[in-house]
Amino acid sequence: MKVVSFFQLKEVRWAIAPQDLDAIRAELPGVEIVSVENEADLPAALADAEVFVGWTFPATSFAGAKRLRWIHTANAGVEANLFPEMVASDVLLTNATGMHSVSIPEHVLGTMLALARNFHEAARIQARASWDRFGVIAYAGGIKELDGSNLAILGAGPIGATLARLGSALGMNVRVLRRRPDRPVPGAEAVVGPEQKLALLAWADFVVLATPLTAETDNMIDRAALAAMRPSSYLINVARGEVIDDDALVDALRRGAIAGAGLDTFREEPLPPSSPYWTLPSCIVTPHVSGYTPEYFERTLELFRDNLRRYVQGERLRNVVDKRLGYVAE
Protein backbone atom coordinates (compact mmCIF):
# COMPACT_ATOMS: atom_id res chain seq x y z
CA MET A 1 0.00 0.00 0.00
CA LYS A 2 1.40 3.37 -1.01
CA VAL A 3 0.91 6.57 0.99
CA VAL A 4 1.84 9.96 -0.47
CA SER A 5 2.56 12.87 1.89
CA PHE A 6 2.51 16.42 0.53
CA PHE A 7 2.18 19.49 2.74
CA GLN A 8 2.00 22.78 0.91
CA LEU A 9 -0.63 25.44 1.62
CA LYS A 10 -0.07 28.86 0.08
CA GLU A 11 3.12 30.18 1.67
CA VAL A 12 3.40 27.34 4.24
CA ARG A 13 5.42 24.19 3.54
CA TRP A 14 6.19 21.21 5.74
CA ALA A 15 7.42 17.66 5.32
CA ILE A 16 7.27 14.65 7.62
CA ALA A 17 10.73 14.24 9.16
CA PRO A 18 12.84 11.30 7.89
CA GLN A 19 12.90 9.66 11.33
CA ASP A 20 9.11 9.79 11.50
CA LEU A 21 8.83 8.26 8.03
CA ASP A 22 11.16 5.48 9.16
CA ALA A 23 9.07 4.93 12.30
CA ILE A 24 5.89 4.54 10.22
CA ARG A 25 7.62 2.07 7.89
CA ALA A 26 8.91 0.06 10.85
CA GLU A 27 5.51 -0.04 12.56
CA LEU A 28 3.57 -0.83 9.38
CA PRO A 29 5.95 -2.80 7.14
CA GLY A 30 3.35 -3.22 4.42
CA VAL A 31 3.14 0.55 3.94
CA GLU A 32 5.26 2.41 1.43
CA ILE A 33 5.18 6.08 2.46
CA VAL A 34 6.57 8.67 0.08
CA SER A 35 7.13 12.29 1.04
CA VAL A 36 6.80 14.65 -1.93
CA GLU A 37 8.21 18.15 -1.53
CA ASN A 38 8.10 19.38 -5.15
CA GLU A 39 4.57 19.89 -6.49
CA ALA A 40 5.69 18.99 -9.99
CA ASP A 41 6.47 15.45 -8.76
CA LEU A 42 3.03 14.97 -7.23
CA PRO A 43 0.99 13.63 -10.21
CA ALA A 44 3.43 10.80 -10.85
CA ALA A 45 3.59 9.90 -7.16
CA LEU A 46 -0.21 9.84 -6.88
CA ALA A 47 -0.73 7.61 -9.92
CA ASP A 48 -0.47 4.42 -7.82
CA ALA A 49 -1.17 5.84 -4.36
CA GLU A 50 -3.92 4.45 -2.12
CA VAL A 51 -3.65 7.13 0.59
CA PHE A 52 -2.89 10.85 0.55
CA VAL A 53 -2.01 12.96 3.58
CA GLY A 54 -1.49 16.70 3.42
CA TRP A 55 -3.52 19.88 3.51
CA THR A 56 -5.17 19.82 0.08
CA PHE A 57 -5.41 17.11 -2.54
CA PRO A 58 -4.89 18.66 -5.99
CA ALA A 59 -8.13 18.29 -7.93
CA THR A 60 -6.22 18.15 -11.21
CA SER A 61 -4.53 14.92 -10.10
CA PHE A 62 -7.68 13.13 -8.94
CA ALA A 63 -8.58 11.49 -12.25
CA GLY A 64 -5.09 10.04 -12.54
CA ALA A 65 -5.07 8.62 -9.00
CA LYS A 66 -6.92 5.43 -9.94
CA ARG A 67 -6.05 3.53 -6.74
CA LEU A 68 -6.87 6.32 -4.30
CA ARG A 69 -9.13 5.23 -1.44
CA TRP A 70 -8.51 7.71 1.38
CA ILE A 71 -7.55 11.38 1.75
CA HIS A 72 -6.54 12.73 5.15
CA THR A 73 -6.34 16.51 5.41
CA ALA A 74 -4.49 18.16 8.29
CA ASN A 75 -7.02 21.00 8.13
CA ALA A 76 -10.29 21.14 10.04
CA GLY A 77 -11.92 22.93 7.09
CA VAL A 78 -12.33 20.57 4.16
CA GLU A 79 -13.94 22.70 1.44
CA ALA A 80 -10.80 22.69 -0.76
CA ASN A 81 -10.93 18.88 -0.87
CA LEU A 82 -14.62 18.69 -1.78
CA PHE A 83 -14.38 19.18 -5.52
CA PRO A 84 -17.20 17.46 -7.47
CA GLU A 85 -15.24 14.39 -8.56
CA MET A 86 -14.14 13.71 -4.98
CA VAL A 87 -17.65 14.15 -3.55
CA ALA A 88 -19.11 11.77 -6.14
CA SER A 89 -16.47 9.11 -5.51
CA ASP A 90 -16.20 6.48 -2.77
CA VAL A 91 -12.87 7.93 -1.57
CA LEU A 92 -12.92 8.49 2.20
CA LEU A 93 -12.07 11.93 3.59
CA THR A 94 -10.88 12.50 7.15
CA ASN A 95 -9.75 15.74 8.75
CA ALA A 96 -8.19 17.36 11.82
CA THR A 97 -11.39 18.09 13.72
CA GLY A 98 -10.61 18.53 17.41
CA MET A 99 -6.94 19.33 16.95
CA HIS A 100 -7.57 23.08 17.32
CA SER A 101 -9.99 22.89 20.23
CA VAL A 102 -7.48 24.61 22.55
CA SER A 103 -5.59 27.06 20.35
CA ILE A 104 -8.51 28.62 18.49
CA PRO A 105 -10.78 29.19 21.51
CA GLU A 106 -7.84 30.75 23.35
CA HIS A 107 -7.17 32.97 20.33
CA VAL A 108 -10.82 34.06 20.42
CA LEU A 109 -10.60 34.86 24.13
CA GLY A 110 -7.50 36.94 23.49
CA THR A 111 -9.22 38.82 20.68
CA MET A 112 -12.34 39.44 22.77
CA LEU A 113 -10.23 40.81 25.62
CA ALA A 114 -8.20 42.99 23.25
CA LEU A 115 -11.37 44.48 21.77
CA ALA A 116 -13.13 44.86 25.12
CA ARG A 117 -10.11 46.55 26.75
CA ASN A 118 -9.24 48.59 23.64
CA PHE A 119 -5.73 47.16 23.43
CA HIS A 120 -5.68 47.87 19.68
CA GLU A 121 -6.12 51.60 20.38
CA ALA A 122 -3.64 51.43 23.29
CA ALA A 123 -1.02 50.02 20.89
CA ARG A 124 -1.52 52.95 18.52
CA ILE A 125 -1.24 55.41 21.39
CA GLN A 126 1.91 53.64 22.60
CA ALA A 127 3.43 54.02 19.12
CA ARG A 128 2.99 57.78 19.52
CA ALA A 129 4.59 57.68 22.98
CA SER A 130 1.49 59.43 24.30
CA TRP A 131 0.11 59.05 27.84
CA ASP A 132 -3.55 59.18 26.82
CA ARG A 133 -5.58 57.38 29.43
CA PHE A 134 -8.90 58.80 28.26
CA GLY A 135 -8.12 57.88 24.67
CA VAL A 136 -7.97 54.20 25.63
CA ILE A 137 -10.92 54.29 28.01
CA ALA A 138 -13.29 56.10 25.65
CA TYR A 139 -12.36 54.42 22.34
CA ALA A 140 -15.22 52.67 20.47
CA GLY A 141 -17.81 53.43 23.11
CA GLY A 142 -15.63 52.64 26.09
CA ILE A 143 -14.00 49.66 27.79
CA LYS A 144 -16.24 46.67 28.38
CA GLU A 145 -16.21 43.62 30.64
CA LEU A 146 -16.63 40.05 29.48
CA ASP A 147 -18.33 39.06 32.72
CA GLY A 148 -22.06 39.48 32.21
CA SER A 149 -21.82 40.13 28.46
CA ASN A 150 -23.61 38.09 25.81
CA LEU A 151 -21.58 35.69 23.66
CA ALA A 152 -23.12 34.22 20.51
CA ILE A 153 -21.19 31.33 18.95
CA LEU A 154 -22.12 30.28 15.43
CA GLY A 155 -20.98 26.69 15.14
CA ALA A 156 -20.92 23.88 17.71
CA GLY A 157 -17.98 21.74 16.68
CA PRO A 158 -15.04 21.16 19.07
CA ILE A 159 -13.98 24.82 18.75
CA GLY A 160 -17.43 26.26 19.41
CA ALA A 161 -18.10 23.78 22.21
CA THR A 162 -14.83 24.59 23.99
CA LEU A 163 -15.47 28.32 23.61
CA ALA A 164 -18.95 27.92 25.11
CA ARG A 165 -17.44 26.27 28.17
CA LEU A 166 -14.69 28.89 28.54
CA GLY A 167 -17.07 31.81 27.98
CA SER A 168 -19.45 30.48 30.59
CA ALA A 169 -16.58 30.08 33.07
CA LEU A 170 -15.78 33.78 32.58
CA GLY A 171 -19.33 34.72 33.52
CA MET A 172 -20.56 35.33 29.97
CA ASN A 173 -24.09 34.51 28.89
CA VAL A 174 -23.56 32.01 26.07
CA ARG A 175 -25.91 31.02 23.28
CA VAL A 176 -24.97 28.79 20.36
CA LEU A 177 -26.32 28.44 16.83
CA ARG A 178 -26.08 25.00 15.33
CA ARG A 179 -27.71 23.02 12.54
CA ARG A 180 -29.27 20.61 15.05
CA PRO A 181 -30.51 22.79 17.95
CA ASP A 182 -31.98 19.77 19.74
CA ARG A 183 -28.43 18.83 20.80
CA PRO A 184 -27.29 20.73 23.91
CA VAL A 185 -23.90 22.43 24.25
CA PRO A 186 -22.37 22.43 27.77
CA GLY A 187 -21.93 26.00 29.02
CA ALA A 188 -24.61 27.42 26.73
CA GLU A 189 -27.85 28.70 28.23
CA ALA A 190 -29.57 28.17 24.87
CA VAL A 191 -28.97 26.43 21.55
CA VAL A 192 -30.84 27.77 18.51
CA GLY A 193 -31.24 26.83 14.86
CA PRO A 194 -30.28 28.80 11.74
CA GLU A 195 -33.74 30.35 11.47
CA GLN A 196 -33.03 32.29 14.68
CA LYS A 197 -29.74 33.76 13.45
CA LEU A 198 -30.86 37.40 13.30
CA ALA A 199 -32.43 37.30 16.75
CA LEU A 200 -29.23 35.78 18.14
CA LEU A 201 -27.09 38.47 16.52
CA ALA A 202 -29.33 41.19 17.95
CA TRP A 203 -28.87 39.73 21.45
CA ALA A 204 -25.08 39.41 21.34
CA ASP A 205 -22.27 41.66 22.53
CA PHE A 206 -19.72 39.32 20.93
CA VAL A 207 -20.41 37.20 17.84
CA VAL A 208 -17.91 34.43 17.08
CA LEU A 209 -17.95 32.59 13.76
CA ALA A 210 -16.74 29.01 14.18
CA THR A 211 -18.68 27.25 11.44
CA PRO A 212 -17.42 25.08 8.59
CA LEU A 213 -17.67 26.60 5.13
CA THR A 214 -20.69 25.07 3.40
CA ALA A 215 -23.39 26.24 1.03
CA GLU A 216 -25.44 27.21 4.10
CA THR A 217 -22.69 29.27 5.75
CA ASP A 218 -21.28 31.01 2.67
CA ASN A 219 -21.84 34.77 3.19
CA MET A 220 -23.89 34.07 6.32
CA ILE A 221 -22.74 37.43 7.72
CA ASP A 222 -24.26 39.71 5.11
CA ARG A 223 -25.78 43.19 5.31
CA ALA A 224 -28.93 41.90 6.99
CA ALA A 225 -26.91 40.05 9.61
CA LEU A 226 -24.72 43.07 10.33
CA ALA A 227 -27.78 45.33 10.52
CA ALA A 228 -29.19 43.04 13.21
CA MET A 229 -26.11 43.47 15.41
CA ARG A 230 -25.79 46.17 18.05
CA PRO A 231 -23.61 49.26 17.44
CA SER A 232 -21.70 48.22 20.59
CA SER A 233 -21.10 44.61 19.47
CA TYR A 234 -18.05 42.87 18.03
CA LEU A 235 -17.61 40.25 15.31
CA ILE A 236 -14.81 37.68 15.50
CA ASN A 237 -14.08 35.26 12.65
CA VAL A 238 -12.01 32.08 13.07
CA ALA A 239 -14.03 30.11 10.49
CA ARG A 240 -13.37 30.89 6.82
CA GLY A 241 -13.26 34.29 5.16
CA GLU A 242 -16.06 33.29 2.80
CA VAL A 243 -18.62 33.28 5.62
CA ILE A 244 -18.48 37.11 5.61
CA ASP A 245 -19.62 39.56 2.95
CA ASP A 246 -16.49 41.72 2.99
CA ASP A 247 -18.06 44.79 1.40
CA ALA A 248 -20.86 44.73 3.94
CA LEU A 249 -18.48 44.35 6.90
CA VAL A 250 -16.11 47.08 5.72
CA ASP A 251 -19.08 49.41 5.31
CA ALA A 252 -20.42 48.52 8.79
CA LEU A 253 -17.03 49.15 10.40
CA ARG A 254 -16.56 52.46 8.60
CA ARG A 255 -20.01 53.67 9.66
CA GLY A 256 -19.64 52.44 13.23
CA ALA A 257 -22.63 50.15 12.76
CA ILE A 258 -20.74 47.67 14.94
CA ALA A 259 -17.99 48.50 17.42
CA GLY A 260 -15.25 46.39 15.88
CA ALA A 261 -14.06 43.09 14.49
CA GLY A 262 -11.30 40.55 15.02
CA LEU A 263 -10.48 38.69 11.80
CA ASP A 264 -8.09 35.75 11.49
CA THR A 265 -9.29 34.31 8.17
CA PHE A 266 -9.98 35.97 4.84
CA ARG A 267 -11.51 35.24 1.47
CA GLU A 268 -8.15 36.02 -0.16
CA GLU A 269 -5.00 34.88 1.62
CA PRO A 270 -2.44 36.26 2.02
CA LEU A 271 -4.56 39.36 2.63
CA PRO A 272 -3.44 41.85 -0.04
CA PRO A 273 -1.93 45.19 1.06
CA SER A 274 -4.83 46.97 -0.65
CA SER A 275 -7.40 45.43 1.70
CA PRO A 276 -9.22 48.05 3.80
CA TYR A 277 -9.08 45.67 6.76
CA TRP A 278 -5.43 46.65 7.33
CA THR A 279 -6.28 50.28 8.00
CA LEU A 280 -9.69 50.13 9.66
CA PRO A 281 -8.94 51.28 13.23
CA SER A 282 -11.70 49.18 14.79
CA CYS A 283 -10.46 45.96 13.16
CA ILE A 284 -7.84 43.59 14.59
CA VAL A 285 -6.18 41.54 11.82
CA THR A 286 -4.19 38.37 12.49
CA PRO A 287 -2.68 36.34 9.61
CA HIS A 288 -4.59 33.05 10.00
CA VAL A 289 -2.68 31.99 13.10
CA SER A 290 -5.52 31.04 15.46
CA GLY A 291 -5.00 27.33 14.80
CA TYR A 292 -1.28 27.43 15.47
CA THR A 293 0.15 25.68 18.50
CA PRO A 294 3.78 24.71 19.22
CA GLU A 295 2.61 21.09 19.00
CA TYR A 296 0.79 21.55 15.68
CA PHE A 297 2.91 19.27 13.50
CA GLU A 298 3.40 16.73 16.29
CA ARG A 299 -0.39 16.48 16.75
CA THR A 300 -0.94 16.38 12.99
CA LEU A 301 1.36 13.38 12.64
CA GLU A 302 -0.04 11.66 15.75
CA LEU A 303 -3.61 11.83 14.41
CA PHE A 304 -2.61 10.58 10.97
CA ARG A 305 -0.50 7.71 12.33
CA ASP A 306 -3.38 6.56 14.51
CA ASN A 307 -5.75 6.67 11.53
CA LEU A 308 -3.23 4.91 9.31
CA ARG A 309 -2.99 2.06 11.84
CA ARG A 310 -6.79 1.86 11.85
CA TYR A 311 -6.89 1.86 8.06
CA VAL A 312 -4.36 -0.96 7.75
CA GLN A 313 -6.23 -3.00 10.37
CA GLY A 314 -9.62 -2.39 8.77
CA GLU A 315 -10.97 -0.39 11.72
CA ARG A 316 -13.23 2.68 11.64
CA LEU A 317 -11.26 5.87 11.02
CA ARG A 318 -11.43 8.95 13.22
CA ASN A 319 -12.93 12.18 11.88
CA VAL A 320 -14.67 10.78 8.81
CA VAL A 321 -16.17 13.73 6.93
CA ASP A 322 -19.72 13.57 5.62
CA LYS A 323 -18.94 14.81 2.12
CA ARG A 324 -22.52 15.98 1.57
CA LEU A 325 -22.53 18.13 4.73
CA GLY A 326 -18.92 19.27 4.48
CA TYR A 327 -17.88 18.38 8.02
CA VAL A 328 -17.64 15.54 10.53
CA ALA A 329 -21.21 14.74 11.57
CA GLU A 330 -21.78 13.87 15.20
Residue 158 has pLDDT above 80, yes or no: yes
Closest CA to 162 of 84, 90, 107, 219: 107
What mean pLDDT do residues 234-261 have? 98
Matching CATH topology for 2-99+293-313 and 103-285?
A: yes
Let me know if 72 is a catalytic residue.
no
Closest CA to 236 of 120, 144, 148, 151: 151
Residue 113 has pLDDT above 80, yes or no: yes
∠ CA 287-256-259, nearest 5°, is: 55
Let me know if 288 is a catalytic residue.
yes
- From the list 72, 107, 240, 299, the catalytic residue is 240
Identify the CATH homologous superfamily for domain 2-99+293-313: NAD(P)-binding Rossmann-like Domain (3.40.50.720)
Contact assessment for residue 267 and residue 242, using Cβ atoms and an 8 Å cutoff: yes
- From the list 269, 305, 310, 318, the catalytic residue is 269
Q: Using CA atoms, how far apart are residues 114 and 122, in angstroms rounded to an integer?
A: 10
Let me know if 305 is a catalytic residue.
no
Contact assessment for residue 78 and residue 327, using Cβ atoms and an 8 Å cutoff: yes
Q: Using CA atoms, how far apart are residues 62 and 47, in angstroms rounded to an integer?
A: 9
Indicate the average pLDDT of the chain: 97
- From the list 120, 175, 178, 288, the catalytic residue is 288
Structural domain boundaries of the chain? 2-99+293-313, 103-285
Q: Model confidence at 329, in pLDDT bands (50, 70, 90)?
A: confident
Q: Model confidence at 150, in pLDDT bands (50, 70, 90)?
A: very high
Q: Model confidence at 9, in pLDDT bands (50, 70, 90)?
A: confident
- Cis peptide bond prior to 270, omega within 30° of 0: yes
Q: Model's pTM, two decimal places?
A: 0.94
What's the pLDDT score for residue 11?
A: 84
Please give the helix or strand (H or E) that residue 173 lies within, else none: strand 173-177
Instruction: State the fold for domain 103-285.
Output: Rossmann fold (3.40.50)
Residue 330 has pLDDT above 80, yes or no: no
